[in-house]
A and B are shown apart, each in its own frame.
Chain A
Amino acid sequence: MKRFLAWALVLPFVLYNLTFVIFPLFTVLYQSMFTIDAEYNVSQQASLDNFKAAFSAANLEVMWRSARYALTTTAACLLLGYPLAYFIAVYGGRLRSQLLILVVLPFWTSYLIRTFAWTTLLQKEGVINAVLLKLHLISQPLQMLNTDFSVILGLTYGFLPFATLPIYVSLENQDRSLVEAAADLGATPVQAFWKVVFPLSLPGVISASLITFVPAMGDFVSAEILGSPETQMIGNLIQQQFLALFNWPMGSALSLVLMLLMVTSMALYMGLAGERDA
């Protein structure tokens, strides 16, 4: 009876996953085996041609760029998110939950619209250039939009809350008396942070980096809106294949390559993190 109940509880999840994750994944895999010609005729023979094409020099460059952007974004999110999480966890007091709401407040608006908002800030006639010109800090408006900088900025802005929350949780759960113990044993506040607080928050930092890196790697919104053809990411390639070129098989192949990239990098990272932990 107990076993039956356990299975019954798991069943909805299993069905959901089979229908909406496993089955589509196989569809994608199946589609990626076929090619499409200029008249949109699907090839009769299954082949790996799409995968060969996926690893073209141009695509490899885009993948390399995506990885660079995602890594930079992750680093930026950690550098911005850690102090923010630390501040809320340690000095937030009774305002903690309100401050956390502020962290997730951007989610109340769509990511797309928020990214568009950045264009008005970053463009040549935008707010930032206007202020800098007014202050005579620059004589020419800066080219910020459609650069590496603007795409990474958009990504960082979009994923900062994802990075902040797990770090916050790991800091919030820390026993504050450990900091006192460190001070008692002669550690300055800076030493106490690096020797005790930071190492104990590493699980949060690791989740934060994964939860930032993975979606940043696959993102296409930021590059689409804030970037240029020179800042294309792998997500943009996939999107083009599906929505502009209607080459679903090629898009499927690229998606699978992206998945493979992410699984490999995650496995590598977890392996490294786990080794450090042991």
Chain B
Amino acid sequence: MDPYAVELLRVSKTYKTYQALFGIDLQIRKGEFFSLLGPSGCGKTTTLRLVAGFEEPTSGEVRIDGQAVAGLPAYQRNVNTVFQSYSLFPHLSIFENVAFGLRRRKVSESEIRRRVDEALAMVHLSDKSKGRTHELSGGQQQRVALARALVNQPAVLLLDEPMAALDSKLRKEMRSELKRLQKSLGITFVLVTHDQEEALTLSDRLAVMNAGRVEQVCQPREVYERPATRFVAEFIGTANFLPVKVAEISNGRTRVNSEDGQFWVISRPGLQVGDAAELSLRPERLRLGKTADPDHNSLEGTVAEAIFMGPITRYIVNLSNGYQLLTERQNLEESSFQAGDPVCVNWDVDSGALLPR
């Protein structure tokens, strides 16, 4: 059996004068929660529409459940979509909205009743089944859209920025709801989002997209800690970047030289001795100290600014060569650094990520 629910092979999509996708490859496994994450215009929604069947690729192949779906119209594909604007049918009751897909497939009336009731119960809207969609709040409409899609037991559920229109409290509730549904139903979910927090908290794996290309496909933790490109490092969280040169590779570790000294970092495949690279450092992985840690990477600087933010304090440290580092420190004790203090910035070998330049 094919292990992939959705596969995209060198898929390109060109609209009249605009190329939206440049030969992307993706493998989405059965039963996983997969996210397409990227800024607007990166091609994530186009990718989703190609899978749903609303668009045909200009070149390349889309497979659903191992079957090539070229030329197969949306109404014949075993996928369902939760639209960004929900797109509920305003002339139908909530029950009929959810029943819409089953009716198209000529499911018996008693079966429809059973499954729609079940789907509405699943999203906690059993009592609303006779109501009209416009009587519902945004969050409830969202749930109807979910029930309407899931009642058909699709091979893949596509979610196009489903939480973009909700306020932040509802969004968090919907998030756990989505995760719960996905786990209990075991259906493959493909979520399109520009919200990194959403993608990181929900996904088993995610693809970071930029300008029509896939920059990285991996697990949330890896995308944060081992970004593949500078774009990924900048798009997800914040990072400091130092220009470096690869000096030595041994035992899975790489020694790099910078203007301020040399550091050890986990090797990155593909980078050779002599290559120019960038060292990406997450602010919370940098430790401030009065002295340099002899066994760790270390840099000297001066605190330029200390910004108290409640649970954390953010420090901006000026390095001798004019670079600035952003660091964060949890306020577990009273802060001991103020603007103007000389400091050492220390970090572990596995705290940095090497990026090609």
Which of A175, A185, A189, A200 lies in contact with B100, CB distance below 8 A?
Answer: A185
Residue ID in chain B nearest A196 by CB atoms: B89
Measured in the bound complex, the distance between the Cα atoms of B175 and A11 in whole Å is 57
Measured in the bound complex, the distance between the Cα atoms of B102 and A185 in whole Å is 8
Measured in the bound complex, the distance between the Cα atoms of B201 and A147 in whole Å is 75
Measured in the bound complex, the distance between the Cα atoms of B85 and A147 in whole Å is 53
Q: Are B90 and A200 in contact (CB under 8 A)?
A: yes
Contact A184/B80 with A191-B104, A199-B91, A200-B91 known, Cβ cut-off 8 Å: yes
Residue ID in chain B nearest A174 by CB atoms: B90
Q: Are A183 and B83 in contact (CB under 8 A)?
A: no
Q: Give the number of residues in B that approach A within 8 Å (Cβ atoms).
A: 24
Measured in the bound complex, the distance between the Cα atoms of B90 and A177 in whole Å is 12
Which of B79, B87, B88, B101 lies in contact with A180, CB distance below 8 A?
Answer: B87
Residue ID in chain B nearest A182 by CB atoms: B100
Kindly state whether residue A186 has any CB partner on chain B within 8 Å: yes
Kindly state whether residue A187 has any CB partner on chain B within 8 Å: yes
Contact A188/B91 with A175-B85, A177-B85, A180-B83 known, Cβ cut-off 8 Å: no
Kindly state whether residue A90 has any CB partner on chain B within 8 Å: no
Residues of chain B lying within 8 A (CB to CB) of residue A195:
100
Interface string of B62-82 (1 = CB under 8 A from A): 000000000001111001110
Kindly state whether residue A178 has any CB partner on chain B within 8 Å: yes
Measured in the bound complex, the distance between the Cα atoms of B75 and A196 in whole Å is 14
Kindly state whether residue B54 has any CB partner on chain A within 8 Å: yes
Kindly state whether residue B16 has any CB partner on chain A within 8 Å: no
Kindly state whether residue A181 has any CB partner on chain B within 8 Å: yes
Where chain A touches its partner, the secondary structure class is: helix
Residues of chain A lying within 8 A (CB to CB) of residue B53:
183
Kindly state whether residue B148 has any CB partner on chain A within 8 Å: yes
Q: Are B104 and A187 in contact (CB under 8 A)?
A: yes
Chain B nearest CB from A273 CB (Å) reads 14
Q: Are A183 and B73 in contact (CB under 8 A)?
A: yes
Q: Are A185 and B91 in contact (CB under 8 A)?
A: no
Q: Are B89 and A186 in contact (CB under 8 A)?
A: no
Residues of chain B lying within 8 A (CB to CB) of residue A184:
52, 54, 74-75, 79-81, 149
Which of B75, B83, B90, B149 lies in contact with A187, CB distance below 8 A?
Answer: B75
Measured in the bound complex, the distance between the Cα atoms of B142 and A23 in whole Å is 56
Q: Are B74 and A183 in contact (CB under 8 A)?
A: yes
Contact A185/B104 with A180-B54, A200-B90 known, Cβ cut-off 8 Å: yes
List 6 A-B pairs, minimum CB-CB distance, nearest first: A185-B101, A186-B104, A181-B87, A183-B74, A177-B87, A183-B75
In the complex, 10 of the A-B residue pairs with CB atoms within 8 angstroms, ordered by the A residue number, are A177-B83, A178-B87, A180-B87, A181-B89, A183-B75, A184-B79, A185-B100, A186-B105, A191-B75, A191-B104
For the complex with contacts A180-B87, A184-B149, A185-B80, 13 further pairs of A-B residues with Cβ separation under 8 Å are A177-B83, A178-B89, A181-B89, A183-B54, A183-B73, A184-B79, A184-B80, A185-B104, A186-B104, A191-B104, A196-B91, A200-B90, A200-B91
Q: Which residues of chain A have a CB within 8 Å of any CB of chain B?
A: 175, 177-178, 180-189, 191-192, 195-196, 199-200
